[in-house]
Amino acid sequence: MKTKLDNNNVIPASILRRYGQYLRLEKAFSANTLDAYLRDLQKLVDYYEREGIDFREVTLEQLDQFAATLLDRSISHKTIARVLAGVRSFYHFLFLEKEIGQDPTELLASPSRGLYLPQVLSLDEIDQIEQSIDQSKDEGIRDHAIIETLYSCGLRVSELCNLRFSDLFLEEGYIHVKGKGQKDRLIPISESAIDELRRWFVVRQRVNIKPGEEDYVFVSILRGRHLSRITVFHNIKQYAQAAGIGKEISPHTFRHSFATHLLERGANLRGVQAMLGHESISTTEIYLHLDRQHLKEEILTCHPRNIKRKS
């Protein structure tokens, strides 16, 4: 059976062949079940390629983030449970084959347990990350604008990388995004993000843009081509580490933070759904759980009975 996995750049073909034999011979999987497991594994491989993750070094937090990205794509809980079962199977095989020293999926939660809510940054943490950027450099001005745009508009990283000047309506205060399934949406953009974009445009005028790349908003200073998702992921990781943020951070974290902060401040759930481009309201409702968790922590911290007990 030929799949995209045969040509991936993440997991060696020899390991995939042995895994297929393990499922077919030791687990006695039918051809259809084997095909389903390998298709689901492709989702994990795609995620690793986007985020620049070594499959042998992946952490539980990164696997939780992978599960959260499946939720964000409006994939059902049942399908996510099946995908995660395949991920556990693959890592159990790697552990048995001594390809890894520890199985990172031992504590990987299934959807029914509801334990893999997406990671969210506080406003102070976002400010700390932005303050860690050296804006005396051209790349720093660009990356500051990238983080402001991600957080201000709740964009997926692919939407940010594909953002074009023809999508910007800054005087009117909104941007146009073509999201999953080529669906269009209009998103309001904050004044602070507009200011950062305009600072970047001054720098961008000095960049030698390659033919065909002229309309992309965010480009490489050196190569003159639009940025890849892996570059954005890598840069954000570096800034988060420099800021001393211990959480597992990715470009998607700013999207999760955008939605959570809006709901915490009383935004309409349907409005947030429209801005995020979710097909199903149930996907957006995960942020209500985050909001409730935040409220629970606030109550436990501030309730006079708890304060008295601590004192």
> Which residues are known catalytic residues?
156, 180, 252, 255, 278, 287
Q: Which amino acid is at 178?
A: K
Phi, psi of 307 (to 5 degrees): -65, -45
The span from the CA of 137 to the CA of 221, in Å, is: 10
Residue that has been written with the tokens 């994939």 in this structure: 75
CB burial of residue 4 (10 Å; 0-12, 13-18, 19+): exposed
Residue 77 DSSP SS3: helix
DSSP 15-53: HHHHHHHIIIIIS---HHHHHHHHHHHHHHHHHHHHHT-
Residues 6+ apart with CB under 8 A from 262: 272, 275
